[in-house]
Amino acid sequence: MAANQITEQNVASRLNSNAKAIEKDGSGQSIDPPLSEIGVQQAEAAGQYLQDVHFHNVFSSNMKRARQTAEIILRKNKICNNLAIVTDPDLKERSFGIAEGGQVKDMRNMAKAAGQSIPEYTPPDGETMDQVKNRISTFLSSLFQQMVDEHHDKICQGNEFQPDGPLAGRPDDGVQNVFAHTLVVSHGAYMRVAMRYFIEDLACTAPPGANMAQVFSACPNTGMCRFIVTLKCSDANIQLSTMKCVFVNRQDHIMAENH
C-alpha cells in the first residue's frame, strides 16, 4: 500500500511503492507460510525492478510472506539495502474467519449464498471492511508521524514539490526529486480495501484514464501501487492534504520475467 514521497508547502508526502506479498487462495491471517519457490522468484523480480529506486523507510506486514518479500526487495536494492524493516501488524492481511485455508471458489459460494460479492462479504469470525479500514487509518497516522519526525527538515520547510509529468513506464515514475519515499509491503485483500478507503474516504485521485474495476480489484502477487501524499504539519498535528495514485497493480517486473 502505500505512501511514499513527502513534499509540499508545510509538508508533502509522496507515495510509497507498495509491493504485495505472494499468497495462496484463502490464506488470510491464521495461515502464515513463507514464500513458495514461485513467490521467491516474483519477489526477486520485484526487487530487480526497484533496484535503482531510493527508499528512505521500509514498512512490512508482520506476516512471514510479507516480511520475506520486503527483505528480498531490499537485498536487491543498489542504494538503500541496509535500511531497517519496521514490521506492523496493522498491515497484515484481512482475516477471512472460517474461510481461511480454503479456496477462493468456496468463499465465492458463501458470498453468493449471502447475496453479496466477495469484496463486501465477511465470513463468520472474519474481519469486516470497516475493521480493516480502521487498521489502515491507524497505520497511516503512524507512518505520517514517523515521516515527519525523521524528515522534518526536508518536508516541513515550505518546500514545494513539482509533479513529474506524464508517466514514462519507468520504475521511478512519480518519485523523482521527492523528499521522502517509503516502501510498504502488505497483502492483496488488504490493498483492495485500502484502495477503496483511499479513493472513497480520503479523496485520493485515481491514475488518469484508470479502469476503476481494476483499481478496486485484488492486488496481484507483488503488484505495485504508488501514491503521492501531501501532508500539512504544524506544532499541533499532522493532517493529510492530498493523495494521488500514480499507478495501481503494476506488474511490469513479472511481465519482463516471463519474456
pLDDT band at 177 (very low <50, low <70, confident <90, very high): confident
Which pLDDT belongs to residue 23? 54
- Find all residues with CB under 8 Å of 163, minimum gap 6, and list them: 228
Residue 148 pLDDT > 50, yes or no?
Answer: yes
- Find all residues with CB under 8 Å of 153, minimum gap 6, and list them: none
Give residue-wise pLDDT tens across range 77-121.
Answer: 999 989 999 999 999 999 999 998 888 888 889 999 999 988 889
Please give the single-letter amino acid code of residue 1: M
CB 29 within 8 A of CB 63: yes
- Find all residues with CB under 8 Å of 100, minimum gap 6, and list them: 26, 27, 28, 29, 30, 31
CB 86 within 8 A of CB 57: yes
CA–CA distance, 24 with 8 (Å, rounded to integer): 39
What is the secondary structure of 56-95 as a DSSP string?
SEEEE-SSHHHHHHHHHHHHH-SS-TTPPEEE-GGGSPPP
> What are the residue ranges spanned by the domains of the chain?
5-257
CA–CA distance, 65 with 68 (Å, rounded to integer): 5
Which pLDDT belongs to residue 5? 39
Which pLDDT belongs to residue 87? 96
Which pLDDT belongs to residue 174? 82
Q: Give the annotated binding-site residues for substrate.
A: 65
Please give the single-letter amino acid code of residue 39: G
Give 33 or 9, the one with higher predicted confidence: 33
Mean pLDDT value across the chain:
82
Q: Give me the mean pLDDT over the 191-201 stretch.
A: 94
CATH, domain range 5-257 = 3.40.50.1240
Whose grid coordinates read 474516504? Answer: 201
Chain-centroid distance of CA 39 in Å reads 17
Q: Give me the mean pLDDT over the 21-44 stretch.
A: 78
Residue 4 pLDDT > 80, yes or no?
Answer: no
- Find all residues with CB under 8 Å of 200, minimum gap 6, and list them: none
pLDDT band at 241 (very low <50, low <70, confident <90, very high): confident
Q: Give the annotated binding-site residues.
A: 65
Chain-centroid distance of CA 223 in Å reads 9
State the pTM of this model. 0.87
Q: Nine-digit cell at 33?
A: 507460510
Give 232 or 163, the one with higher predicted confidence: 232
Q: Give me the mean pLDDT over the 15-26 stretch.
A: 51
Burial of 222 (0-12, 13-18, 19+ CB in 10 A): buried
pLDDT band at 149 (very low <50, low <70, confident <90, very high): confident
Residue 28 pLDDT > 90, yes or no?
Answer: no
